[in-house]
Amino acid sequence: MTSKKQNNKCRTIRTWLVRALSNRLGFDANWIQNHIADCPKCQRRLAALGKVDLALSIIKSQPLKLDLLMRANTQAVNVLKHSLRHAPKAQRLKTARPEPKLLERCAKYAHPAANVAACITIMLLMKVGIFTSVDKFHTEGRKVVKQYYTTRLGQDLSDEIFSS
């Protein structure tokens, strides 16, 4: 059996196992649904889990304030027993704020930095262009003057004058 056929067979078996296990052990399994229907404690837990999922989906859909971590930690610490609520680590959690990543902190400088880089690039190009033009002008001027001396004095004297 080739490796490709073996991989396809393995993938098919893994998919079948996942489906079988989720049908037998997942939330959609009949025995779990029957238990939840008859157990008030599990109903409350699942309702609380649903509230957490709803809260998380709302948080993900809205822009977050920087003090969200601090407020969430404060609420979490308030749920702890009294001795843990006043521990030093709990106090640090209550005032914790997220630190923005380096790119987020530097984002406000992106446009000015790009402008400065563009100006420097333009200046460098101008310098290179100017010096290239001056050098070209000098070379062309030298050729013209040499040609003038060649026609007036001859090739030998012209070569001797411009050989240095």
Alpha-carbon torsion 117, 121, 127, 131, what sign? positive
Distance CA 46, CA 116 (A): 57
Question: What is the predicted pLDDT for the residue at 109?
Answer: 87
Instruction: Answer for the pair 71, 59: CB distance below 8 angstroms, yes or no.
Output: no
At 21, the amino acid letter reads L
At 90, the amino acid letter reads A
- pLDDT band at residue 27, thresholds of 50, 70 and 90? low
Question: What is the predicted pLDDT for the residue at 97?
Answer: 67
Are 70 and 127 within one domain? no
> What is the residue-averaged pLDDT of the chain?
78
Domain that holds residue 93: 64-98
Distance CA 6, CA 16 (A): 15
Taking Cα atoms as reference points, which of 146, 142, 124 lies closest to residue 134? 142
Are 122 and 151 within one domain? yes
Instruction: Answer for the pair 95, 70: CB distance below 8 angstroms, yes or no.
Output: yes
105 domain residue, yes or no = no
Stronger pLDDT, 21 or 145, i.e. the higher one: 145
Question: What is the predicted pLDDT for the residue at 164?
Answer: 63
Stronger pLDDT, 31 or 147, i.e. the higher one: 147
Are 73 and 129 within one domain? no
Are 69 and 58 within one domain? no
CA 72 to chain centre: 25
Cβ neighbour number for residue 90 with a 10 Å cutoff: 17
16 domain residue, yes or no = yes
Q: What pLDDT, in 10s, does the model give residues 53-71?
A: 777 777 666 666 667 767 7
DSSP states of 14-34: HHHHHHHHHHHHSTTSHHHHH
146 domain residue, yes or no = yes
104 domain residue, yes or no = no
Q: Classify residue 154 as left (phi > 0), alpha (psi -120 to 50) or beta.
A: left
Count of domains observed in the chain: 3
